[in-house]
Structure 1
Amino acid sequence: MEKRGPWTVTAKTKAFENPYIELHTYEGIRPDGAPGIYGVMSPKTYAILILPLFADGTTMLVGQHRFPLDNYSWEIPEGGSPKTDPPLDGAIRELKEETGLIAEHWREILQAETSNSVTDELAFGFLAWGLEEGEQELDGTEVVERKRLPFMAALDMVMAGEIRDLPSVAMILKAHYMARSGQLDPALSRAMLNGG
């Protein structure tokens, strides 16, 4: 038996596995003393989030179809990275793959639990600046459109509900707060908030 907070776990079963995720079922005693069951989806990678920032105050979003909800989504560059690699290595790789960008400067600004009632996925979010443009290096599962726009236009998209991907929302809001509160380079903050 294992304690998980107020739950007592009596059995754990792997219900499903593929190259990307595992699904475990936990049986045991709920907090109210009744028998219970809990399912947890465990990605085999960390979620990696990157907000690229150009010196002129613009950023780059990526647009792609998302299979689970069968919708088209505008997001910051993001992806998965093996848990054996440092998250920054994954961020460098994902930014290049999805946008073609290479960044001179990196700063981790966010660690988050993506949906902690159903998954143990952990996310690491980075700002990237000092950008050099290049070619995308997409894998066979991706069709990704790029859109460069003012940072404040991306924030407007968040506030209008046009960006619904929660990691993107969190990163854009965090970067906006950091720019307004003096936590970023002053020139970069001015460019982000004023468009140059």
Structure 2
Amino acid sequence: MSDNHAERTEAERSELTRYARFAVEQMPLARRDGGTVHAQYIRPADAVVVLPMFANRDVMMIRNHRFAVGLELWELPAGTIDPGEDPLVCAHRELEEETGYAAVIMEPVTDFVTCPGLCTERIYAYMARDLTASEQKLDQTEQIVPERVSWERAMSMVQDGTIRDAKTIATLLFAECFLRQELG
């Protein structure tokens, strides 16, 4: 797509409503028959997900109560990027807040869009290494329990459906490929 197209479509977007965590917007889309339809979508802030890995390849995961689905999910630590915040800074902050660990090394792994038919969210995935115990600093509404699991168990949890969170599944599977290359 040309830059001109991106500028034109950005100018045609309009906000329908705004909430604390996201806005609902719409933009006109050309139909194949020459007509136009207005498509609505959600514009949340972008986010990070962190894969905290110990030297023996154990992973620090979290069990996180998610009110929207009414479930406690196995996840990797993650969080929303504040306006103007660098994703790397957010990754360090979220790791410590949710797990009580800090990382000396925070490597970018990949980034991905979560649900491009419905929202604009982009998630930046990082691998945290050289971990040291710190202090968990949860928000008032968070119900998060960190738990260290082996890499083999994490992969088994993806395969058997124990891990149901998409950002966690995507990051773990991408990291599996990354680690295979690293190990040769």
Aligned residues of 1:10 and 1:26 also touching (Cα < 8 A):
no
Query: Which residue does the alignment assign to 1:96?
Result: 96
Query: Which residue does the alignment assign to 1:166?
Result: 166
- Supply the RMSD in Å over aligned alpha carbons: 2.2
Query: Which residue does the alignment assign to 1:54?
Result: 54
In the alignment of these two chains, the number of paired residues is 180
In structure 1, what is the Cα distance between the partners aligned to 2:154 and 2:34?
48
1:1-196 alignment runs, 5 A limit: 12-43=13-44, 45-182=45-182, 186=183
* One-letter amino acid of the counterpart of residue 120, structure 2: D
Of the structure 1 ranges 19-28 and 144-153, higher mean CA displacement relative to structure 2 is found in 19-28
In structure 2, what is the Cα distance between the partners aligned to 1:102 and 1:166?
24
* One-letter amino acid of the counterpart of residue 59, structure 2: T
1:69 is displaced (CA, Å) by 1.8
User: 1:107-162 deviations in whole A, cap 9, x for unaligned?
Assistant: 10111111111111111000001000122100112010111110111111011111
User: 1:5-58 deviations in whole A, cap 9, x for unaligned?
Assistant: xxx899643222112111012245323323312111111x22101000011221
Of the structure 1 ranges 145-154 and 21-30, higher mean CA displacement relative to structure 2 is found in 21-30
1:86 is displaced (CA, Å) by 1.1
Residue 120 of structure 2: SS of its match in structure 1? coil
Percentage of pairs with the same residue: 28
Q: 1:10 to 1:139 in 2, by over 3 A?
A: closer
* One-letter amino acid of the counterpart of residue 106, structure 1: M
1:164 is displaced (CA, Å) by 1.3
In structure 2, what is the Cα distance between the partners aligned to 1:68 and 1:25?
24
Q: Which runs of 4+ in 1 moved over 6 A?
A: none
Q: 1:66 to 1:32 in 2, by over 3 A?
A: farther
Residue 82 of structure 1: SS of its match in structure 2? coil
TM-score (structure 2 length as normaliser):
0.89
- List alignment gaps of at least 5 residues for structure 2: none
Aligned residues of 1:110 and 1:124 also touching (Cα < 8 A):
yes
User: 1:84-112 deviations in whole A, cap 9, x for unaligned?
Assistant: 11110000000000001101111101111
In structure 2, what is the Cα distance between the partners aligned to 1:97 and 1:10?
37
Residue 46 of structure 2: SS of its match in structure 1? strand
